[in-house]
Amino acid sequence: MHIIHTSVFVSDQDETLKFYTETLGFVKKQDFPVGKFKWLTVVSPDDPDGTELLLEPNDNPVSQAYQKGIFDQGIPAASFGVTDIRAEYEKLKSLGVAFTMEPTEVANVTVAVFDDTCGNLIQVVQT
């Protein structure tokens, strides 16, 4: 068994896709209509057949409350691995990404957290 999809809730799929591809560097994998929304996923360009991140519409009041609740409590909705967190941090900052936590050593990893502009906090981790 392995993970094929995971998701983050988003309020605007098109704006989220733009941020995740143009700013973060992910690649669009799937994009097809499902009712009034889309099945819209992105993947790492380094692993195009790897785990897909579903940009899930938060049209449901329960998902909206969940997304807002974890955001307000400072809890990341997802965690992405990087090989050089300081370089990634500087690159993303130069692109205007707002960090809520600068690279910080915690136990045997270094983590940073940024706002994805779509209602989520995202943690980047260098092990």
Tens of pLDDT, residue by residue over 1-47, are: 999 999 999 999 999 999 999 999 999 999 999 999 999 999 999 99
Q: Under a CB-based contact definition with an 8 Å cutoff, are residues 124 and 114 in contact?
A: yes
What pLDDT shows up at residue 127? 83
- Domain borders along the chain are 5-126
Tens of pLDDT, residue by residue over 44-98, are: 999 999 999 999 999 999 999 999 999 999 999 999 999 999 999 999 999 999 9
What pLDDT shows up at residue 21? 98
More confident residue, 108 or 127: 108
| Global confidence as pTM | 0.94
Distance CA 18, CA 53 (A): 14
What pLDDT shows up at residue 117? 95
Residues of the chain by 3-state class (helix, strand, coil), percent to 5: 25, 40, 35
Query: What is the CATH number that goes with domain 5-126?
Result: 3.10.180.10
Three-state DSSP state, 110: strand
Give the mean model confidence (pLDDT) for residues 90-108.
Answer: 97
What pLDDT shows up at residue 72? 98
